[in-house]
């Protein structure tokens, strides 16, 4: 068995999980909102890209660009109309509302697209690979990982270099004081969810190109995303990437020992990290 190869594949898989998790990390970090519909929103975006690809005959990457503003608007509206009403000290209302939303999205997709599994065709890119001496890496996984890093660099720039990012951080730390300074938390939250939906669209693009998907697989993706966010620590985007990589490596190592242990190994790694560090590895904000 080639351990280096296994670990590298795991790291690259972690890139995909980090993409799933980055949007969640943003929303969770700013408004402590546990969005149980996040996984289903990724699947929704994947169907949106699929529809654009087949209707307009576009390349998947261009189709994702078209889908982004649509998803941004959806996220903005969702936050403004529904989620802002349930934010507060009690975590139960947002949990239940997003849970209801998850069921609605899943079944709406089942109604619209049936339970058949789908895939976003990416042509030769799907199977292309590059030799690096002893290991061979797929182009698609490498592209996924690079995109995850780009997304995180981009979000960090937004967070630490722009007025919007300052408003995000201020609201995250203390919404009441932030609103004394002329920031409207409700509209900051809506922008943040909109941006999270752009990240969701990128995650959906790679999810759809790398493997088959159907309307019911959202919750499984959600649990990996949450694990990555929690391992990384609240409000730390690089931590989220680290979390994704830990889950990815644990899964490929587990699968190398026994294929039935893949998912289990990822969960066990998550529990072990939390046992040692209950607030994750690199928490930025304090609750």
The residue length of the chain stands at: 287
- In the numeric block, which tokens belong to residue 224? 């990996």
Min CB(8)–other proteins separation in Å:
25
Min CB(99)–other proteins separation in Å:
7
The 3-state DSSP class for residue 213 equals strand
Min CB(175)–other proteins separation in Å:
16
Nearer to other proteins, 182 or 278 (CB): 278
Min CB(98)–other proteins separation in Å:
9
The secondary structure of 59-109 as a DSSP string is -HHHHHHHHHHHHHHHHHHHIIIIIHHH-SS-SHHHHHHHHHHHHHHHHHH
Backbone φ and ψ of 217, nearest 5°: -90, 0
Nearer to other proteins, 212 or 258 (CB): 258
Min CB(90)–other proteins separation in Å:
9
Min CB(226)–other proteins separation in Å:
5
Calpha distance 71→84 (Å, rounded): 18
Q: Which residues bind other proteins (CB under 8 A)?
A: 28, 32, 34, 82, 85-86, 91-93, 95-97, 99-104, 106-108, 110-111, 219, 223, 226-227, 230, 260, 263-264, 267-268, 270-271, 274-275, 278, 287
Nearer to other proteins, 16 or 269 (CB): 269
**CB-based burial of residue 56 (10 Å sphere; 0-12 exposed, 13-18 middle, 19+ buried)?**
exposed
The residue written with tokens 């529990």 in the block is 271
Min CB(184)–other proteins separation in Å:
21
Cα R_g (the chain), whole angstroms? 19
Nearer to other proteins, 103 or 153 (CB): 103
Judge whether 52 and 66 are in contact, CB under 8 Å. yes
Could you write out the three-class secondary structure of 110-172? Answer: HHHHCCCCECCCCHHHHCCEEEECCEEEEHHHHHHHHHHHHHHHHHHHHHHHCHHHHHHHHHH
**CB-based burial of residue 20 (10 Å sphere; 0-12 exposed, 13-18 middle, 19+ buried)?**
buried
Nearer to other proteins, 61 or 99 (CB): 99
Nearer to other proteins, 99 or 238 (CB): 99
Nearer to other proteins, 1 or 275 (CB): 275
């Amino acid at each position: 068995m080639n351990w280096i190869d296994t670990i590298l594949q795991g790291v690259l898989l972690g890139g995909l999980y980090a993409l799933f998790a980055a949007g969640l990390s943003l929303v969770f970090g700013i408004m402590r909102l546990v969005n149980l519909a996040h996984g289903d929103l990724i699947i929704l975006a994947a169907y949106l890209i699929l529809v654009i690809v087949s209707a307009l005959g576009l390349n998947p990457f261009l189709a994702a660009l078209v889908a982004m503003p649509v998803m941004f608007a959806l996220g903005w509206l969702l936050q403004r109309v529904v989620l802002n009403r349930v934010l507060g000290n009690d975590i139960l209302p947002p949990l239940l509302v997003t849970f209801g939303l998850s069921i609605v999205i899943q079944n709406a997709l089942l109604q619209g697209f049936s339970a058949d599994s789908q895939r976003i065709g990416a042509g030769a890119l799907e199977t292309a690979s590059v030799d690096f001496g002893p290991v061979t890496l797929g182009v698609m996984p490498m592209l996924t990982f690079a995109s995850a890093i780009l997304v995180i660099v981009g979000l960090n720039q937004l967070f630490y270099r722009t007025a919007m990012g300052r408003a995000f951080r201020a609201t995250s730390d203390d919404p009441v004081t932030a609103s004394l300074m002329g920031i409207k938390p409700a509209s900051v939250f809506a922008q943040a969810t909109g941006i999270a939906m752009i990240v969701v669209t990128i995650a959906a693009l790679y999810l759809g190109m790398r493997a088959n998907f159907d309307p019911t697989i959202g919750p499984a993706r959600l649990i990996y995303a949450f694990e990555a966010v929690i391992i990384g620590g609240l409000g730390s985007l690089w931590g989220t990437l680290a979390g994704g990589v830990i889950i990815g490596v644990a899964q490929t190592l587990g699968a190398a020992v026994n294929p039935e242990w893949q998912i289990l190994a990822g969960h066990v790694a998550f529990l072990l990290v939390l046992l040692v560090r209950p607030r994750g590895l690199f928490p930025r904000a304090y609750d």
